[in-house]
Structure 1
Amino acid sequence: MHTHIKAALAVTFYFVVALSIVLTFTIFYLIETGNADIEEYQTMELDRIKNALKDHVDIAYAMMDNHFKNAHDKAYLEKYYARRLTNVIDMAETVLKSKAEAVKQGKITELEAKAQAAAEISNFRYDNGEGYIWITDTNSPFPKMIMHPTEPSLDGQIIEYSKYNTALGKGQNLFVAAVEICQAHGKGFVDYLWPKKSTTGTNHEALKLAYVKLFREWNWIMGTATYVDDAGIDAMEKIKDDIRQMRYNNGMGYFWISNSTKPDLKMIVEPNMSQLEDQILENGKVKDLIKSAIEICEAKNGSGFTKKYMWPKSNTSGLTDEAKKLSYVKLHQPLGWIVGTGDYIDSLDQIIADKKARIEQQITFLIWIAVISVVVFLLISLLFRQVLAQRFSRIQSIAKSQQTPPSITPASSSVVKPQIAPVARHKVKGVTKEIPVMPQMSEQGTLRTDECIKMVQEISKTLITEQSQLLAAALHGTFPNKNANQRHEVEIVSKEHEVINESKQITDEVKQLANHTYQTIEEVKKMVEANQLPSQATNQATNTVDIAQFNKVMGNLNKMVAN
């Protein structure tokens, strides 16, 4: 029993060791591949988010740059201001035409008409009083000022002063340039620099765009101009409006604009925090974000990604939580503005955490499966070994109980060593039995009585021995040795019923043989006692029996054994 338990424990131990090795490599593989998958997913997802942010900012930047360039492009400026400027000149031309018609009708003289027209036109104003109209003639090399409403001292003077050499970006006299354009095309645009008062009250040169047109009847050139920095201001306002309206990601994504002037940092556009716009920022998250954006733009050629930072985010309950965010920023150098947008990446962290949790669950599940497998294997092994041991013990008990032969009591007599004749050998169930068939006869053809008794005892002993050998042979042929039992115990269990039936059959045969032996011995004894010779001398050592009768009995005995 102990051997079987040891064997079961040994097998279980090797099973546990093998399972532990496999489990260790499996867990290691899961961890390695899981971490690699998570890292790859994180890298790919971050790259996707970064690329999307960069694309969005590039689109917003392109819009900003387009508005800025348009505000400084002559063709665009002409187109942008053309209608307003031409409308003003067209109104002035109407006055000139009406006065010229009056001259034709003789109502007034040409001189009076020109004076009246100049006076009326000098009163034209637009753009909150900033816009006006001047008139020159077409004389060369320099024209004469007919009327200038804001500088009446110029009226009647040849305008050849160097301060007017600011036209067309090449230092040409702006009034000369106007004459050339009108003589060539009748009308056109002239860009030039002109003093402008700032909000502080100081003057500075600013770019202006003028529209000039020739009135051929009087060879007058009418002109009006506007500061194109107004176009720049309009462009910036348009940029702000467009940025506020731009959305992506189903309206969740938006853009913001900040200045890049230290230390007075401010948010120019922040759709979700409009109260912060155009306000100098105190210390806080917004100011820290702008500082970070400026540092990135200065260090990375004007654009780059910020570090991950915490930013308010509305949750499903309508409350605001702090969530991790990543932004991409880009500096527009001419404007000095930084445009940026960001995206929350807390969902990415949650997905990665879920993936790690799933890996841990898989590892825990494998460990539990391994533990349960070991326990179940151990229980099954012990139970199986115990059942085998119990059945094997039962078979051995049955075999032992059938080894004891029936008790045979031979008749006691005087002990004389007989001479046993050759024996007959008979194979019964694989066992050799040797039975004396012919005792040595005396010369008179008779057997002495004490020799017969001795012969009967020898026969009884021989048959009992043969019974034991027969049973042992049966058991030996039926059950293997101990080591064989250990190697083939599974076969023994499967053939248990067959073995028991065969053992019972052999036992019955042995019992039957024993009964026959006992009956034969009794018959021999009776025969010997009945055939004693009374006439024999009393001093003779033994009695005799007729040999023919003895041979008959022995023949019956041999037939029984042969059967």
Structure 2
Amino acid sequence: MRTKRSLVQIYLLSLVALSAIPLSIFGYIWIAKEYDGFNTQSEALRNTYIESRRELLRREVDKAMEYLDFKRSQLNRQLYQDLRQQVAVGLALIENTRKEFAQESKQQQLARLRSTMSSLSFLGNKGFFFLFDEQGTTLLPPMHPSGDTRISDKTALKSFVSQIVTATGDKKYDFVEYRFTRPSDPSRSDRNFSFVYHYKPLNIYMGASVYLNDEVARVKQEVIERIAAVPIDPNNSILFIVDSNGNQLVNAYDSARVGSVMPGVVEASKKVSGKDNSLFTELSWQAGDEGEKPVVSYLRRYEPWGWVLGSGVFLDELNVRLADQRADLQERVNEHIRFIVIIAFVLMVLSAVAARLLARSSARGFDIFQQFFADASKRSTAIDIAKLPFAEFQHLAEDANFMVEKRSQTERALKLSERRFQLALDAAQNHLWDLDLQTGYVTVAPSFFRMMGYEVPSTPYAVAAFKHVAHPDDIEIIAAAVDSWLGLATGNSVEFRVRNRAGEYHWIYSRGDVVESDEHDQPIRAMGIMTDVTQRKRMEQELLDAKIAAEDALHAKSQFLSSVSHELRTPLNGVLGYAQLLQRESDLPSGSEEYLRAIENCGKHLLTLINDVLDLAKIESGNINIVRRPNNIDDVVTSVGDIVGQRAKSKGLDFVLDVAADVPRNVEIDEVKLRQILVNLLDNAVKFTKQGKVDLKLRVDPSRQQMLFSVTDTGIGVPEDKIRDVFEPFRQVNPRDGQGTGLGLAICRRLVEAMGGSLDLRSEYGKGSCFYFDIPLIEVDSHYHDNDVDESVDEQELAESVAHFDNPAIIVADDVAVNRQVLIGMLSDVSSDIREAANGLEVVEQVKERAPQLILMDLRMPEMDGLEATRIIKKDLQCNDVHVVMASATTDETMMKQAIDAGCDGFLPKPIGMDALMKVLVDTCSVVAPEPEPSVVVSFPAKNNNIQAPNGVVESLHKAVEVGDIAALGDQLHALRQDRPEFIAFVEQAEECLRNFDFEGISDLLVMVSHEADPDDS
């Protein structure tokens, strides 16, 4: 009899047949949409491609045009600067010649200058010097435009001299532009650009000159090389430049065609119009063996040089891309067709397979039920519902399983009770052990052996067997623990290592106690647990490694800051040194004095900022040293109060200094750091207080042996949410005010902590703040001995006993030539016997040749550093009379100590100031520091000859100038402008000096007005 199909099979086959029709319709629509989308996308791509390339081409050409304009405009400015610098070099040469050959006649000196300057050149040998006297006689003619010889044509020289004399007139110097006409080619002229200086001591005109044609050609070549070096992407744009004849100057696509004519560019450039002289056009480019290709180009004419700049992109790339996309489309359509055919075939196959599987599944379900009924009579069993194919079978299985479940509940409850205790131990990762102290056999929980990868022993085993798996270093620890129980110990805990089956050691923590004793109270049994603490040990090691890494990072940070300090101070040495040297010159151009003072003051301000950051870094790394010495606390607090009190008074604030009567006067403190903390806190209080008062209080706490300081103001206060930020480095309550770096309070807190105290803040926003801190109170005898005074007396006596050197021999050792020249310039008024050395080896050789009185030794030099050279001079050569002063931008205390240990007599931190250098000369060579020639003359307009200011303000400003407090100066001048308008002339002059960081100008102004102060304000 034929087997009938099941209902499920009939439904499945019908579904497959019905799904074939919509599947075909869906495939047709899918393919049609692909074609429509391709056509739309292709058209949009073409339009977008061309439009986007237009903007790209315009942008590339505009950038190149901007670069041409920049280089062309930069040429004149650079020539102005270069020629001015060369004239300065020439003047220095003249001055040195007059000074060195002062005994010679004027004509001999001029002959030397003519011989020397004729060989000098600059700007790539294109620049030259010329000389002629006031009568028009040419001493050193200018160079011929060809650059081979100097001009000998008298007519041309006469015209050149006449124009320069007329242009300069009564001025000492001026820029002059002149055109030389070549006799061989009258139609051609060469532009000459010169900077001329009238040197009256010799009645001569000296100038530095260059021909512009050479410089323009050089700049053009530089522009061409720069643009040609720009990397290109042929898929985006290709930049090119042609000259007025169509010759290619730059071809980023094919550099081999540079110099050849680019077809079509000259004709197209004639059509350029508009305000920017630009044009979009299509050109044909020669693309190697492929022949000519169409290119969309953007052209722009650069009129000053007659160039045409352009950028282009190949159109055939677009066509290639469209062809590739069409091929991709066809491939996708083919894939869609294949996909639909495969889906249809798969559906038919799946239908046949599914029908067969359904029949098998039904048979398997019945087999499961038959097996269940056969097993249920023998044992507790259940039907796996997940294996049944249909829901009806599953419902029947649930009922059958429910009947069996009741019988199984009792058995499961019993097994659960038996394992509960073991599970608790396993969950806590504790392994029970039981030791028989009489036999030495121990029983350990099976979980321990499974954890270690060993087989679980069936009987107890000897403790001595542990030596085979225990770490050799820990065997004695295990034996000692067992011995301790035998010695009536109440309990112990030990840690040891045990090797697992894989050969890895686990850290085991074992704790236990004696649980049974015999009739003589001798222990016979001990029990305890063992826990695997390997992870904890690993974490402890990681923490230790992290600590070591942090210490290494801190050391690296210190080394980095030391290097940064050296690299920042080294260029500042040249900047500040040359600024000080130039201020000593008497013939500086008008206005240069203020610029030099501004440079020097800005450099000092930058040096202060560098020192602040390095101070904070030293404090954070624990390298700050607290030097406590006996001091009178009244003197310290009063001196701080005098400085800040004047600033508070200038703002109309009351300043109250309150020192309790029970405060000991003579204490041991670090006076420098305490003064730094108090000045910083009081400055902040004055700065942020507009009206009211500022208090400084000092109390003592005898019970804790602490000095208690507090600074209270009635200023703006600190918002509650900002209080935690004020002591963080580089954090400010109101960063928008632009004042300070946010380091002051951070440094104060760390200094207080380094001194053994703590700094904190109480504040109410809008009402004021109170900063309070405490430091240890260390009293000293009222008749303490001031070592500093004795040392200063001894040094004074020693200085008086040293022989006086009228012209001391000095060696300046530094691997940086600029630093050597700065020091030589500073020492030129003191000594003429100055030698240079670029490294330690040269210093040692010069000392062997002739010992000097003083060596200014740089720390870091090639071949041999300053420390090694000093050791050789002091120890090997036994030159103890030679004073060696180490000069370096590295200022950490460790390096300074190494310098002293090597034999140095002093240490000069870079940048080196004139005052510090003179002090070294006085201390080492008994040189009387020369009075500097007045190079800066402070003059005021005639209308301000009667400038006045009140005496109280003058004294306050004097103190602010002495400490360099810019903020206090500004506040006091602002208050004087508002409260006393009759002194507006004085305020304007002082504010002008302050804007230029001209503290010397302010000091001179204060000296002048101190004799004309208002009597009513005395």
The TM-score normalised by the length of structure 2 is 0.26
Using CA pairs below 8 Å that are at least 6 residues apart, which structure has the higher relative contact order?
Answer: 1
TM-score under structure 1 normalisation? 0.45
Determine which structure has more spread, i.e. the larger CA radius of gyration: 1
